[in-house]
């Protein structure tokens, strides 16, 4: 296997913990509200807002699909806030993240969420762009607005290749 090859792995809270939180109802603290007609799954992720005049943003991103194997040429990070993605359909998608080594992304990993799973990527964490598979997909996104530059991009000299695990 090439040093630029990344195999997709299942998304679990434990495996994703160094990069943020998995957003899901399974195992989450919850309680009834609205006269017992609604179950509230409470405090599923830590929204981080830094910098000058920060405010939370709620957006919908509509992503075009990518095909596997995926040639990954770029990752980004947001030094002033976290960024949460929650799919609005059961379309398959990937979450690509990396550790930081002195301002350079390293030890990249690719996760495939199950239906009903989203992620909150921690502030200043390298990650790939929104990556739906098979068809276009909409995502509810919670991130940071406010003053300051909240986007850094890193372009790789040689792309990484992300592929599904062998069957």
Which domains can be identified in the chain, with CATH numbers? 5-163 (2.60.120.480)
- In angstroms, the CA 8 to CA 64 distance is 19
Q: Find the helix or strand (DSSP H, E) in which 39 lies.
A: strand 38-41
pLDDT > 70? residue 17: yes
**Which residue carries 């790939």 as its tokens?**
128
Confidence of residue 1 (pLDDT cuts 50, 70, 90): low
pLDDT > 70? residue 152: yes
Helix (H, G, I), strand (E, B) or coil at 34: coil
Confidence of residue 166 (pLDDT cuts 50, 70, 90): confident
Taking all residues of the chain, what is their mean pLDDT, rounded to a whole number?
96
Whole-number Cα distances in Å, 70 to 7, 16, 110, 137: 11, 20, 11, 17
Closest CA to 80 of 54, 102, 117: 54
Per-residue pLDDT tens for 53-90?
999 999 999 999 999 999 999 999 999 999 999 999 99
- Write out the two tokens for 130: 């929104």
- In angstroms, the CA 122 to CA 83 distance is 7
Give the angle subtended at the CA of 133 by the CAs of 15 and 64, to the nearest 5°.
120
pTM, rounded to two decimals: 0.94
- In angstroms, the CA 16 to CA 94 distance is 13
Given a contact cutoff of 8 angstroms between Cβ atoms, the answer to whether 115 and 9 are in contact is no
Rounded to the nearest angstrom, the gap between the alpha carbon of residue 10 and the centroid of all alpha carbons in its chain is: 13
Per-residue pLDDT tens for 90-126?
999 999 999 999 999 999 999 999 999 999 999 999 9
Per-residue pLDDT tens for 38-57?
999 999 999 999 999 999 99
All residues at 6 or more sequence positions from 58 whose CB lies less than 8 Å from its CB, including other chains: 140, 141, 142
């Amino acid at each position: 296997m090439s040093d630029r090859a990344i195999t997709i792995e299942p998304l679990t809270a434990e495996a994703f913990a160094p990069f943020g939180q998995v957003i899901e109802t399974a195992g989450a603290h919850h309680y009834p509200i609205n006269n017992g007609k609604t179950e509230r799954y409470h405090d599923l992720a830590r929204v981080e807002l830094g910098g000058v005049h920060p405010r939370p943003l709620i957006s919908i991103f509509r992503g075009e699909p990518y095909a596997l194997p995926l040639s990954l040429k770029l990752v980004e990070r947001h030094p002033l806030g976290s960024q949460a993605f929650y799919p609005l359909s059961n379309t398959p998608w990937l979450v690509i993240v990396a550790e930081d080594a002195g301002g350079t992304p390293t030890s990249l990993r690719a996760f495939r969420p199950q239906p009903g799973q989203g992620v909150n990527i921690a502030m200043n964490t390298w990650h790939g762009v929104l990556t739906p598979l098979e068809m276009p997909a909409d995502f509810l996104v919670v991130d940071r607005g406010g003053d300051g530059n909240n986007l850094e991009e890193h372009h790789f000299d040689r792309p990484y290749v992300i592929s599904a695990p062998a069957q």
